[in-house]
Structure 1
Amino acid sequence: MQEIASSRRGITIYLLVWLFLGIALGGVIALANDAPAANAMMFAIPLNLLYAFAAGYSSYYLCRAYPLGGSRPAATALVLTVAAVVSGFLWLAVGRAWNGACLMLGVSWAGIAFSPQLSALIVGLGILLYGFAAAVHYLVIEFVRAKGAEQRELESLLMAQEAELRMLRTQIDPHFLFNSLNSISALTSQDPKAARRMTLELASFFRQSLGMEAHKKVTLGEEMRLIRHFLAIEQVRFGARLQVEEQVEDQAAACLVPPMIIQPLVENAVKHGICNMPDGGTIRVTARRAGSMLHIRVDNPVDADMASIRSEGHGIGLSNVRQRLSGAYKHEASIHWGRIDNSFGVDIAMPAHTGEEGE
């Protein structure tokens, strides 16, 4: 009963059902006892609504005390049967009292003639309605229990997914940090200004990356600022060998993306592209919004003599991004990569959500 009464919709439907049953009972009384319709309705409807709460609460607590699938099904059936019979006779007693009060009013539209057949009808109907109320409560209790179990399972899956995403977001290639520190160490004696600039960029990179960890989504513009810090560090290492082209539309920059979703791709572009080419090359990052989808592409040159650019590190970075996209967007996002001539490209497509859209 508490599950039904917990919502306005539930209690309204419950009372409407019992009101309909009261009207039906009044119609039966009017036909069987040859009583005026107003008198029959005046007797049946209030009596039925009172029984709705009495039988409802009684059957609810018995259903809670004797759940389905318990160790004593015979005892459950016996208790409910006895309760239904007792409720039927109590309903008859209340009905007689209510009818007597109506007769005392001395008006033509109140009170009916009680007959043995009407008494038997009320007792039998009371037993059936009690069983109906118990069946409804068993269904509601099992539904709420199943819904609660489903909710707990969903919460467990979400917690596991969040833990996996946090783990994936922390997989920043340690070689980047080691190489940066080694470069700073080497530049300290050769070019102190460059070493200082690289140190500041490295501090800015990690400060921003740590700040982004607290958010499930950041704008693409914020993600691109992090990438600029990363590439500024790498440009100190590679000098003129590393060139960068960035084409990010304003509409795309306002879209929300998982933090550090592009950084592993740019890191791969440096590690597996520029690093292996004596003359270096250009890394291109493009982003555009097409309707409800955000498209991001990262291109980098590769050595023509290399048989395959899919090294272990490259595979880990791409797998990381694929898993994070799947965890955040399920089947709505995709990632594809491939080599064309001397260029390697990665394409990401994901839903174009913005803060203004409530994401």
Structure 2
Amino acid sequence: MTFTEEFTQALRNQRMLMKKRPDRLRMRVLVYLVWFIGFGLLFATVNGVQSGRLGSVAWWRNDLPGHMLVSLSVTLCFFFGFRGFETLAPQRWLDTISGWRDWRSGVFFSTLSILCSLVGLLLGFAAVAGIWSRQDLLGKLVGKPGFWAQFLLISIIVTLVMGLRYRSRWKQEAMQARITEAQLKLLQGQIEPHFLFNTLANVQSLIDFAPQRAKLMLERFTDYLRASLGQLRGESTTLAQEFAMLEAYLGLMQLRMGERLKVELALPAELRGIELPPLLAQPLVENAIHHGLEPQIAGGTVTVSARREGRLLHIEVADDGQGLDGPRRRAGNGVALDNIRARLQARFGPGASLELLPREGGGTRACIQIPLPNDTP
């Protein structure tokens, strides 16, 4: 990620409430530094134009440093105000506020911003009065109706701008959601025939030399399709359903390979209800058998497991076959892996990934990483 992309992402993240910020500290400091310098120069310039002192010695010695000090005070109040709320508020509050897609979101962020601005202004004016020995500055400003009129006008402008910004963001999110949904349907439409044709090819391979096993495999495959086809066409499934489909599929493959194929499935009970796109691990299991185990005379074991680490879900498909550089490894075009990566990116964003790694002791590990929603228990 380039510097510009990283800075832009840090700016976007400032609009969201989150306990742990994903941006690097230097990027967060840079964002607030830009705000501090930008607002300080803006208001110092406007005040200088109004007073006719812009560019004069008094402006450089008093007005500009004073406005920069007030801007620094406001910026610090924004930082500690928002970070304090994010840190102290329960996670369910942050999830609720982040889920608002109506006027409540604009009111909340506008109110908190106005409060931070007011406290920052008062503290900044007090600091200016103390440093420049103008003890009556704060009292005069607070007592002037013009000060409160200007503050009210700026607050209204801030509220309107934030309301328009969030409305634009919601429209963009809705459009992106529709694009993502269409992309997921297209990708899923590609993976279903791949799975069905591969399984039918396995049945066909048994017809000539083991017709009874082929018949039994076809019967089980028909029962499997009858039970799972509706689920395959859905937008999401659960880990429990995904593992059940994998168990049924591996049962079909055991009919074909016999004792050469051993299966181990490990799904903790607390993860059974987590949702994910259907047929996410299925191509990885197929690859483990086709590229890793079938070329070996002795066959081997396929292990499918899931575990949770913090806000990340890990799904692993491992085999003790010939490995990524095995002498009998069959050539592949990588379409299935590219499809999985594309589906992960479309559904979960850059936090999701798929990696192929060598397994300790021989074989291959396919590791899927998925960020869990904040409301996942």
With the shorter chain as reference, the TM-score category is 0.5 to 0.7
Task: Tell me the SS of whatever aligns to 2:280.
Answer: coil
Write the deviation string for residues 227-269 of structure 1: whole angstroms up to 9, x where unpaired: 1122122222222222111122222333222221111111111
Corresponding position of 1:102: none
Corresponding position of 1:318: 337
CA displacement at 1:208 relative to structure 2: 4.6
Distance in structure 2 (CA, Å) of the matches to 1:135 and 1:247: 58
Structure 2 counterpart of 1:265, which letter?
Answer: L
After TM superposition, the structure 1 = structure 2 runs for residues 181-260 of structure 1, keeping only pairs within 5 Å, are 181-185=200-204, 187=206, 191-260=210-279
Task: Tell me the SS of whatever aligns to 1:273.
Answer: helix
Q: How has the CA–CA distance of structure 1 residues 187 and 271 changed in structure 2, closer, same or farther, with 3 Å as cutoff?
A: closer
Structure 2 counterpart of 1:324, which letter?
Answer: R
* Contact preservation (8 Å) 1:338, 1:346: yes
Corresponding position of 2:366: 346
**Pairing partner for 2:289 from 270, 281, 291:** 270
Distance in structure 1 (CA, Å) of the matches to 2:288 and 2:246: 12
**Pairing partner for 2:321 from 297, 302, 321:** 302
CA displacement at 1:322 relative to structure 2: 2.2
* Contact preservation (8 Å) 2:195, 2:283: no
Q: How has the CA–CA distance of structure 1 residues 242 and 319 changed in structure 2, closer, same or farther, with 3 Å as cutoff?
A: same
| Ranges in structure 2 where 5+ consecutive residues have no aligned partner | 1-102, 112-148
Comparing 276-285 with 133-142, which one deviates more in the overlay? 133-142
Structure 2 counterpart of 1:202, which letter?
Answer: F
Comparing 338-347 with 263-272, which one deviates more in the overlay? 338-347
* Contact preservation (8 Å) 1:204, 1:229: no
Q: How has the CA–CA distance of structure 1 residues 284 and 165 changed in structure 2, closer, same or farther, with 3 Å as cutoff?
A: same
TM-score (norm 2): 0.51
After TM superposition, the structure 1 = structure 2 runs for residues 30-49 of structure 1, keeping only pairs within 5 Å, are none
Q: How has the CA–CA distance of structure 1 residues 139 and 178 changed in structure 2, closer, same or farther, with 3 Å as cutoff?
A: closer
**Residue correspondences, number:** 239
* Contact preservation (8 Å) 1:249, 1:289: no
Distance in structure 2 (CA, Å) of the matches to 1:220 and 1:262: 10
| Ranges in structure 1 where 5+ consecutive residues have no aligned partner | 1-5, 14-128
CA displacement at 1:298 relative to structure 2: 0.9
Distance in structure 2 (CA, Å) of the matches to 1:134 and 1:254: 50
Distance in structure 1 (CA, Å) of the matches to 2:330 and 2:200: 26
* Contact preservation (8 Å) 1:266, 1:298: yes
* Contact preservation (8 Å) 1:251, 1:289: no
Corresponding position of 2:185: 166
Structure 1 counterpart of 2:367, which letter?
Answer: D
Write the deviation string for residues 53-78 of structure 1: whole angstroms up to 9, x where unpaired: xxxxxxxxxxxxxxxxxxxxxxxxxx
Q: How has the CA–CA distance of structure 1 residues 194 and 251 changed in structure 2, closer, same or farther, with 3 Å as cutoff?
A: same
